A and B are shown apart, each in its own frame.
Chain A
């Protein structure tokens, strides 16, 4: 089930810190569940898709270099956001789709953790009708 190298994981954690502002602390290796979800999901996808995902991570680094002359990790927060916004809103459809996939995976790892519920005021109940306002 191991999909990513330690370097790739570090890079995704950095991206997660930008995509989910609250996820900035994930880098402490605090959340194994985040990685269980992400790697568990990707491992069920075709190998071709896994490879494309890794290539997309490299594309982010290359774009950073072309735009700012430095790799993504060495950019300041605002410059990193410029790159991510270009991927999301720019004219290149394949970049937008790639970024959507990256975001979806990060959101899945972050918001898919059961313990996030109370933090984001999401507290469903099997007996939800009992909680309805009269």
Chain B
């Protein structure tokens, strides 16, 4: 066992950990030692090949197909230098005011989060795509929504030099997305923060204030870790956990905090998602250009879902079509003619939806798809079908439908053809990529894990700084809100740094 000593250890390098690292980096100049521990490797630019299965296995836990306990849903979350910011699409929205109101966490105001979000919009070059760079899939969505009188908004994106590979979810092969791997981590390292990759954190010992971790050897892909492979015990005065909603909760549970924090792992939300497709009689070529230009929050309040544009790869598309055989094959044979819409259900935060651990300490996500979510899906499929047809689609596939496709001449029968009784768990592919909660903020230990500064109740040196802090779902793509919260957590640490590390440690 090799031992190491630090003043601040940050676990995870995604939107939360990367932001915390950059914000705390100036403390290095004052004499503090800071390290970021990241489970995944740092990939070389040429290793972003855009090949679906290869990149999914490199970048995601369980290849992006992490199954929930009852196997009704798969979850996608990444491990890499930059965490999940390497594989998202770069959508950068400020959390809605109503959402923060629903969170109802004393000390957290929308104004504060919006101000911090603006800072990261600047830092990450967030902007709207110019009209000529909007691809056909997005134009069709816009056209369909407008024709039906539905609201539609353009996504602000954090891009620099986007070439429109459409491969965002497999890691940008052009390094255009301004995730923490491109912006915050390099800035932090420039100021002296160490980043150690291939480091799996097993446990935090709350009594000794130590971390047990393993450095994994590589398989030739990605850069080597800064530390030699082996077992490590790391002493730290402050620990910031930012390993993502699943792994942060699991790590704290493995560390024995479940008994003193009954809410730990609970109130887990995911924005359960469906990928919907329609076939046009002419090419859409959705694989060219940035995949995500527009979204509609028309039904966010009434039916609790969002619609977004999206583009997926052959296996992911095939898996999300409910069916098989010749009709499935005919749909797949013309990938160039497919229009796609992503449905995100705005799920309730329930204490029963939770991250637990198995006997080995590995995370298990116990999540029930509720009747409310299914009802959101039914309305979303109907509305999407209307949008597809208004955009000119010849046939629409809905995963809960009496037929594999609804033809355009049947468009007046959408409500009959897409019905609740046709929504069968197990048949319909449901995915979740916005993983939130598990270490929710609040005022006390009975129903929350941290205070509004991300400090774990009862442990003054232990912080959480990622999406697991969300008390309820974000109701939009959560990346910028994670950064805003991590920024706030870092400020909280800085405000207490003398007390946390001892005045003697500063400028030693």
Contact = CB atoms under 8 A, between A and B. Distances in A.
Nearest to A122: B335
B136 interface: yes
A79 interface: no
Contacts of B72: 97
A126 B50 CA distance: 8
| Most chain A beta carbons < 10 A, residue from B57, B135, B325 | B325
Interface string A95-134: 1110111011001101110101101111111111111111
B297 interface: no
A88 interface: yes
B335 A120 contact: yes
Interface residues of A, number: 48
A126 B173 contact: yes
A44 B56 CA distance: 13
B146 interface: no
Nearest to A100: B426
B400 to A, nearest CB: 11
Decide if the interface of chain A is mainly helix, strand, loop or mixed.
helix
A122 B50 contact: no
Contacts of A110: 318
Contacts, number: 142
B255 interface: no
B82 to A, nearest CB: 19
Contact of A20 (B62, B329, B424, B426): B329
B424 to A, nearest CB: 6
Interface string A24-57: 0000000000000100110011000000000000
Max chain B CB contacts within 10 Å: which of A40, A81, A104?
A104
B392 interface: no
B336 interface: yes
Given A96-B426, A111-B315, A111-B318, A121 B335 contact: yes
Given A112-B53, A126-B173, A120 B332 contact: yes
B319 A126 contact: no
Given A19-B324, A107-B315, A128-B164, A123 B427 contact: no
Contact of B287 (A41, A122, A130): A122
A91 to B, nearest CB: 9
A88 B324 contact: yes
Contact of B166 (A21, A22, A116, A124): A124
B76 to A, nearest CB: 14
B288 A84 contact: no
Contact of A97 (B57, B163, B426): B426
B426 A107 contact: no
A22 B334 CA distance: 13
B328 A20 contact: yes
24 contacts: A19-B328, A20-B318, A20-B329, A21-B329, A41-B63, A44-B57, A81-B325, A88-B427, A95-B426, A97-B72, A97-B425, A111-B332, A112-B315, A117-B314, A124-B165, A124-B287, A124-B288, A125-B288, A126-B50, A126-B173, A127-B163, A128-B164, A129-B164, A131-B164
Interface of A: 18-22, 37, 40-41, 44-45, 81, 84, 88-89, 93-97, 99-101, 103-104, 107-108, 110-112, 114, 116-117, 119-134
